[in-house]
Structure 1
Amino acid sequence: MSVPAWLARSVFRVQEAVMRRPTFALLEVLQRTQWLSPDDMREYQRARLNGLLQSALAHSPWHAQRLQAAGLAEAVRAGAVGPGDLARLPTMDKRDARSHIDALVWRGVPGGVFPYTTGGSSGEPLMFYFGRARQAADAAGRLRARRWWGVQPGEREVYLWGAPVELNATDRVKTLRDRLVNQLLLNAFEMSPARMDVYLEAIEAWNPKAIYGYASSLALLAAHAEARSVKPRLPALRVVSSTGEPLFLHQRELIERVFGVPVSVEYGARDAGLMALESPDGVLLQMSETHLIEVLDAAGNPAEEGEAVITSLVSAAQPFIRYRTGDVVRRSGRRDPGGRGLAVLDAVVGRQTDFLVAADGRIMHALAAIYVLRAVPGVAQFKLVQHAVDRVEVQLVPDAHWNDAARETVVRGLRARLGDALAVELNLRESIAPEASGKHRYVVSHVRLDEALAQAGGTAS
């Protein structure tokens, strides 16, 4: 049962205040700054960039050394660095963030720091720290984008998202909190046909204003509905928002056909933060107030299409400055048709994960396995290949923390997801080669889904 939107919004405000996150104050700022002219937006970014670099110079020795080496320290102190000056700094990557974490984190940042781990879809899970500013920026950016679609804070939403296998006491409290803020969580790691029947009924009963989830999981649910000749009756629904991986055109068409509303793409990453969201005009608008995005080719030169290298202006707790995301994006010279001063990206073309199938027929998002592997100390890099419903191979590059206990944790965790009879073959390697196409795929399943579901998931038939 949902609660009135005003009550859900009030509960959400109280939660953010208790957690000392300035989410709603920042939301009001973003409501104004999105209408800045391009020149004014550049000045806004310049001020935020200098603030970030000044805190990095003072509190992150690794960045301070790099700023000194690049001859930027005095300009930083004077607040005179512009976005164009960033090219004088070398880029950083996950390995840098992992290897130099103690020299990166500002543990005294106002509001404190909090550990987090990336999803590992790059094959290299990363533990990092973020602060209240980053948390508030992600939440406020998402709330602003919902308003573009006519969805106000506190109105009903469905989240098709990862959830634990079993709920503990903390998870039950969070479930109650979700209901009080009008959020219904459906587990993307448990998507058997029978479970998806239940999900479709639950969504129809909830009648949300917005549905949010992994792109492939949303497409899988839509394909299942279409195979069942089910078209949910959702009179309140305004938008389906996809995240976590690229959304293919046929997936977009399928989701829109089944749910009867437009799909909005969200582009973000756990380490880099929320970077861009799609507006009702069909353009992917950058979070220009919180992120600078460079698009670089393999040689590190600016390009129309290439790797997204970001500077997060809200990452003072552990600065991500010229950070290589591993994502391939295509920039755009267009302006927002809606008149906003936010930069436009053409597309995010670089991320995809597969589905896994358990022996009992459950279909789950590949992140169900990624979440197991990313959390094990000693795993520097991995690739999981599902050869059969009861057999997986884990190619693994170990680091100094790898031991027998870590090996047992991997096996136990995968069996908890895919079944107790699962055979797990662990192959330790010095490196993991890309596919023959040159692309990196870190979860690959050779178990066929039903043809329609395979098409929905973007897998090969």
Structure 2
Amino acid sequence: MSFYTKLVSGLMFPLHEKLKKHNTVAIKQSLEASQWWPRDKLIAQRNLRLQRFIQKVCEHIPYYRDTFAQLGLTPADIQSPADLTNLPFLDKQTIKDNFEQLKDPLATSLARFNTGGSSGEPLVFMLSNERVSHDVAEKWRATRWWNVDIGDKEIVAWGSPIELGAQDKVRLLRDKLFRSTLIPAFDMNEEKILAFIEHIRATRPAMLFGYPSVFDLIAKTANQHGIDMKNLGIKVAFVTSERLYPYQRENIQTTFGCPVANGYGGRDAGFIAHECPSGNMHLSFEDLIVEIIDPNGNPLPVGEKGEIVVTHMATSEFPFIRYRTGDIGALSDKQCDCGRTLPILESIEGRSTDFVIGADGTIMHGLSLIYILRDIQDIKTFKIIQHSVEETEVQLILKNAADLHDDMRHAIIAKFQQRLGEQVSINVHCVKDIPAEKSGKYRYVISKVTSA
């Protein structure tokens, strides 16, 4: 670690967090100790924290005070995560309908936030200093797993208007001091991508952070132009906010000559899991309770895939209790070779809208269609939209102004119908541009069909 990085991580960043009234440093120090605790100690401490959290929520949050009364429950009835099944789920519509009742009327640090809305209408909610401090601390802990720290040179590829709109003079100065450079992930034409590539080469960052689709696109462009991105001193590429596909991981790793560390979470649900150097996704266990449920809302055992539901215990002033993320995953009971005792999220398979449904009702991941297009060399990029069980649209951008000849069109239609059903209409056509979602994310598969 360089002297400057030590100065930033040990003095400048802690001072920055203190001025913002964040308790980040103390939380990070606690997390770095607890990640090595025996599992039974972790569980015992989390149960105590859950009890305190529920007690505070019932005292201060009108929505949950009324909910507990209607259900005939008291805070003492919630002693462990298993008891949370007595409480209703929280979803986006419930938050919208009960926004004021979900706020602590005595809270002084609540700030308004919203999701990017990449899967529909943005969710508006509130975050407190407590929640932000824990989120930053969780990310900081995971960053240090990879032998990098705040103050090391960083390139951030991001597309959220929330972040990009906050680039005032104070923030620009802070980022300069912390050696973090933002490149906007909106409207990435080839000219801009080549400029980003030269900026990365000139900066020689220790780490990358951003959307996997953006770094995959940058890597592809560098390879197409014969630009060497290895040996720049990049230690790790942190990717988050989108599903990381295996082909993206391979391309980023090969091109930049560094490992890829996946992060899973959201602005609403918080940082749920981070990948360690041993390749496992460790849960933010001290802060979060993660349930996996089936389509009927019933809890599923370890190893079975279902919807991810999150209770964030650093949200006492605007609670997220049994919040339905819409994402699909499974928990694991295996131990990680890294030695950390934090439980593992075994699989993260994207949002429910990343899955497509065949004419016979079979549910399959969008990868089953993605790989059909990935194997066609003339295709530069694409987007698959399942409008209904009977109709799927395939948008293509071809390389080097290639034509969509009949053989290619017929091959795509035939292979898609093999997956979805011979009676399904497959509309294949070329477009000039495939823009990112409003959030800045790129989604390769969107299904507007819901399973029964």
Shorter-chain TM-score bucket reads 0.7 to 0.9
Query: CA-to-partner distance for each residue in 1:304-356, whole Å, 9 max, x for gaps?
Result: 101001100111121010111111112212122222121101121124899xx
| C-alpha separation in 1, matches of 2:444 and 2:165 | 34
User: Is the Cα–Cα contact under 8 Å of residues 283 and 344 in structure 2 kept in the other structure?
Assistant: yes
Which of the residues 80, 93, 116 maps onto 2:113?
116
| C-alpha separation in 2, matches of 1:166 and 1:281 | 31
Q: Normalising to structure 2: TM-score of the pair?
A: 0.75
Equivalent in the alignment of 2:69: 68
Query: CA-to-partner distance for each residue in 1:255-309, whole Å, 9 max, x for gaps?
Result: 1110111111100111111110000000000000111000001011222101001
User: Is the Cα–Cα contact under 8 Å of residues 148 and 279 in structure 1 kept in the other structure?
Assistant: yes
Kindly indicate whether residue 196 of structure 2 is the aligned counterpart of residue 199 of structure 1. Answer: yes
Query: CA-to-partner distance for each residue in 1:235-270, whole Å, 9 max, x for gaps?
Result: 431110111111111111001110111111100111
| C-alpha separation in 1, matches of 2:157 and 2:335 | 32
Equivalent in the alignment of 2:338: 338
Q: Give the root-mean-square deviation of aligned CA atoms.
A: 3.2
Query: CA-to-partner distance for each residue in 1:86-139, whole Å, 9 max, x for gaps?
Result: 011121111001110110011423x51110011112213111001111111111
Secondary structure of 2:100's aligned partner: helix
Question: Is the deviation greater in 120-129 or in 229-238?
Answer: 229-238
Distance 1:74 1:113, change over 3 A: closer
Distance 1:295 1:263, change over 3 A: same
User: Is the Cα–Cα contact under 8 Å of residues 311 and 320 in structure 2 kept in the other structure?
Assistant: yes
Matched ranges for 1:284-363 at <5 A: 284-303=281-300, 304-351=304-351
Using the TM superposition, give the Cα deviation of residue 173 of structure 1 relative to its aligned residue in structure 2, in angstroms: 3.0
Q: Normalising to structure 1: TM-score of the pair?
A: 0.74
Kindly indicate whether residue 172 of structure 2 is the aligned counterpart of residue 171 of structure 1. Answer: no
AA of the residue aligned to 1:116: F
Equivalent in the alignment of 1:156: 153
Matched ranges for 1:135-150 at <5 A: 135-150=132-147
Using the TM superposition, give the Cα deviation of residue 140 of structure 1 relative to its aligned residue in structure 2, in angstroms: 0.9
Query: CA-to-partner distance for each residue in 1:136-187, whole Å, 9 max, x for gaps?
Result: 1111111111111101222111100126599879534322211111101111
Kindly indicate whether residue 91 of structure 2 is the aligned counterpart of residue 93 of structure 1. Answer: yes
Secondary structure of 1:338's aligned partner: coil
| C-alpha separation in 2, matches of 1:447 and 1:141 | 43
User: Is the Cα–Cα contact under 8 Å of residues 236 and 260 in structure 2 kept in the other structure?
Assistant: yes
Question: Is the deviation greater in 274-283 or in 322-331?
Answer: 322-331
Matched ranges for 1:46-445 at <5 A: 46-75=47-76, 81-109=79-107, 112-162=109-159, 171-303=168-300, 304-351=304-351
AA of the residue aligned to 1:277: H
| C-alpha separation in 2, matches of 1:323 and 1:164 | 24
Secondary structure of 2:286's aligned partner: coil
AA of the residue aligned to 2:54: L
Distance 1:283 1:174, change over 3 A: same
| C-alpha separation in 2, matches of 1:282 and 1:239 | 13
Q: List alignment gaps of at least 5 residues for structure 2.
A: 355-365, 367-379, 384-392, 398-418, 421-427, 435-441, 446-452
Equivalent in the alignment of 2:375: none
Q: List alignment gaps of at least 5 residues for structure 1.
A: 355-362, 367-384, 390-435, 438-444, 452-456
AA of the residue aligned to 2:195: V
Higher relative contact order (CA 8 A, sep 6+): 1
